[in-house]
Structure 1
Amino acid sequence: MGVSGLCVDGNPAGFLESKSTSCTRVFTNLSRSCVSDPALNAASYYRDFAVLKVRISPIGPPGAPYMKDNLCNNAVSETRMLSHTLPRSGNPGYMTGAPLLIANDSAVQHMSILQSEGDGSCSQFLRHTVRFGSNVRTGCKLRLTQMEESNCSYIQLKLYKAFQGMNQAEDLAIIGSAHSTQEEEWVTILIQNCSVQTKNCSSCCMIPVTLDIQILWTKMGLLSNPQAHILGVRYFYQCQPLKSLSTSLVPLTTVVTFTDMTEWPEPPRGMPKLHWKLPFDFFFPFKMVLNIEKNYRDDLTAYFVLILILSSILCF
């Protein structure tokens, strides 16, 4: 469809792009166009064209270097390393809902936890991304074979890897724009595994069933624009004896909790107080009235005394 709303032929169809359009077509001679114009014939839209497949040419591994005519052929002349960069989760502080950044051997990635499949089993490839400020709880079931149930160390290692993913996280970014080379922008993850709980039962096979990720954070900077910083993080594994499980399906649970440790500063001054200040000589009108009343009372008393004196003289 053109800008004016008229039909334009030859528009390309996008791959995996569903689209529906409508347009207006103008005919100068409808009786002639009805039988001769291909735009009105449905066959012109599906005939004489084909969808081509993308040809894939298999490429085998490169051959070994060899000497010919005093030249070393098939030798490596250039290597290119593809670097994977992650978008910032804030600048500098974390933004609410942004993924948490973790590092392992200078490799930065997003923190992720277990995710379940449609049948409730733990997914081997899909994981749930942990986002700043979002408390989350996930659960799934991991199946153990009879051969695995007889090897305690193997079960523990398998469950730890299921909780941690492909790469075990060692550090957590304090801010959303942390760089892998800046050590002061990362905090070490404290891990408390089942070895501490095994002391109470030396003959038990303690396996992790719950991972509690506790994250402490605070707001720093100006009060007008505070930035979210991570203070610390701890991985706390809750473990149970393997013999207490009555099935080969081990239920695994992951809990992520964010705790705000912000301490807002006290105001620089105390609470505002009211200081009443009246205009100069505010009570002057009231003083004048009181003075007039006082003078009137004095005159009235004098008159009364004078009347008493005159009355006593006349009587005697």
Structure 2
Amino acid sequence: MPTSENFDQLLKRFGSASFSAEPDSWDTNPDTENPDANETSRYEYGVPVQTVDAFLRLPSPVVSSWCSDANPAGFLVNRATKCIRSVSVEKCDTIQALSMLFYINSSILAVPKSSQTVNITVRSVAVQSLNGMRTLPHGSDVLRLPMILDALCINIVLGVSYHIMYTDAGEIIEAAAAFVLGAINKETLSIQQSFEISFTQVNTEPVPLSGNPGYVVGLPVRAGLRPQRSGIIQNTNKYSQLTILQSTSSQDCLAAQGARAPVLFGFNMISGCTLRITAATKCQPLTQTLLDLLKGQNFPEYVASFGNSQAQDVLDWVPITHLHTSEQSSCQIPVSLEVEVKWTKYGSLVNPQARIVNVTAAITTTTLKQLPSGRERTIPITSSVIFTDISSPAEPGYKAWPTINAKLPFDFFFPFV
């Protein structure tokens, strides 16, 4: 972290157009002056993610727009880069940076300088045609290497998205990569590649609250699952609770898979993307893909009524009501997800607390008609969330005027009566 004391030293070391990505502490030779150099430590913010051979590559433009593979991915540093790479059909199968193996063949060290490694698994592979349309191939061949086919070179890497799971002890426990593969022809001299990396902490304790007790505007709506009718199980990551589809710059639904935005209390939100359908599109796989896109993974069953509702207090959680709007047709595909959160002001009129009382999730479908051969159709896919205040209006009240309840003692008229 730059400070007033070390700024000049950091500027001298990193201020040039290019610099060494490997710090001096990466020296694997025994150091007599530092006997603890080989001890297992932990990852800290900004430290390059180490692999067996060097570091996890996150290609990016350095001086010009051309890709530099010497750029390391920093721990906990979420980044998205784009750069240009020179290609040719005749040599595409020999350029390492165009192959999936270049990005997954080296295991990540769980902690710096340790012997424990974590393999990079392939989460998904999307194939992009020359006209820009993306499809998800079906089959078990996860690894696709560049191949020269007639006048084309297929299966070259156009984009890589890393997702790293880590613990609060600074240890990496899981790594996955999602690829976008494409094709080039003889006229293609260069391509643009995109790279992303994100980090998610697991087993975070305690679960962050969103208010005490009522919800605070701008904090995530807490949600969870209730397996076996026991207590509520809540994911500590806000991106794995109640979320909606996150829009991307390309507005491509297949490119937006996995990108979620947390639902923030009091914020009405809408997002969407577009999906291109061809005559070869099948109904059932497309329906499941769109459902996963709209609802994400592990769509929650319950929402906390208060910002500090405890997982063991099941009565403090509101079940999500699912609605389904469709037409009578042979093939119905989901096109929108609308979440409505109804809340009310609870407690004192001076300091009311926001409390969720009802949540509905409505899926709207449309009819998928068979297209003629060679024709395409673009369908908009949307997801939204709206917050509705159903509080009864506060009305001023007045206490009743006091009444006089006068009674005479029983012997008031003694001895006359």
Q: Same fold (TM over 0.5)?
A: yes
Alignment partners' CA distance in 2, 1:116 and 1:130: 14
Aligned pairs for 1:25-40 (under 5 A) are: none
For the residue of structure 1 that corresponds to 2:336, the secondary structure is strand
Aligned pairs for 1:202-221 (under 5 A) are: 203-221=329-347
Residue 127 (1) aligns with residue 260 (2):
yes
Give the aligned partner of residue 213 of structure 2: 92
Residue 115 (1) aligns with residue 115 (2):
no
* CA gap 1:112/1:244 in 2 versus in 1, 3 angstroms: farther
Q: 1:97: how far off? A: 1.1
Alignment partners' CA distance in 2, 1:183 and 1:237: 26
Higher relative contact order (CA 8 A, sep 6+): 1
Of residues 213, 222, 226, the one that matches 1:101 is: 222
Q: 1:188: how far off? A: 0.6
1:37-77 per-residue CA deviation (whole Å, 9 max, x = no partner) reads xxxxxxxxxxxxx9435664464679xxxxxxxxxxxxxxx
Give the aligned partner of residue 294 of structure 1: none
Structure 2 unaligned regions, length at least 5: 16-21, 27-47, 53-106, 108-114, 119-172, 174-201, 227-232, 400-417
Residue 161 (1) aligns with residue 297 (2):
no
Residue 243 (1) aligns with residue 369 (2):
yes
Give the aligned partner of residue 356 of structure 2: 230
Alignment partners' CA distance in 2, 1:269 and 1:179: 37
Task: Name the amino acid aligned to 1:219.
Answer: K
Alignment partners' CA distance in 2, 1:10 and 1:265: 57
Cα-Cα RMSD: 3.7
Alignment partners' CA distance in 2, 1:209 and 1:115: 15
For the residue of structure 2 that corresponds to 1:191, the secondary structure is strand
1:282-316 per-residue CA deviation (whole Å, 9 max, x = no partner) reads xxxxxxxxxxxxxxxxxxxxxxxxxxxxxxxxxxx
Give the aligned partner of residue 274 of structure 2: 141
Alignment partners' CA distance in 2, 1:169 and 1:240: 24
Give the aligned partner of residue 83 of structure 1: 203
CA contact (8 A) 2:323 2:363 kept: yes
Alignment partners' CA distance in 1, 2:391 and 2:331: 41
Of residues 7, 10, 15, the one that matches 1:13 is: 10
Q: 1:121: how far off? A: 1.2
Aligned pairs for 1:44-83 (under 5 A) are: 51-52=23-24, 53=26, 56-57=51-52, 59=115, 83=203
Q: How many residues align?
A: 212
Alignment partners' CA distance in 1, 2:350 and 2:14: 46
Alignment partners' CA distance in 1, 2:6 and 2:342: 61
Task: Name the amino acid aligned to 2:385.
Answer: V
Alignment partners' CA distance in 2, 1:178 and 1:188: 14
Looking at CA atoms only, which structure, 1 or 2, has the larger radius of gyration? Answer: 1
Q: Percent identity?
A: 30
Q: 1:268: how far off? A: 2.3
For the residue of structure 1 that corresponds to 2:246, the secondary structure is strand
TM-score of the pair, normalised by structure 2: 0.44
For the residue of structure 1 that corresponds to 2:369, the secondary structure is helix
Give the aligned partner of residue 67 of structure 1: none
Alignment partners' CA distance in 2, 1:251 and 1:192: 20
Task: Name the amino acid aligned to 1:113.
Answer: I
Give the aligned partner of residue 189 of structure 1: 320
Give the aligned partner of residue 175 of structure 1: 306
* CA gap 1:10/1:193 in 2 versus in 1, 3 angstroms: closer
Give the aligned partner of residue 307 of structure 1: none
TM-score of the pair, normalised by structure 1: 0.57
Structure 1 unaligned regions, length at least 5: 19-49, 63-79, 271-316
CA contact (8 A) 2:258 2:293 kept: no
For the residue of structure 1 that corresponds to 2:258, the secondary structure is strand
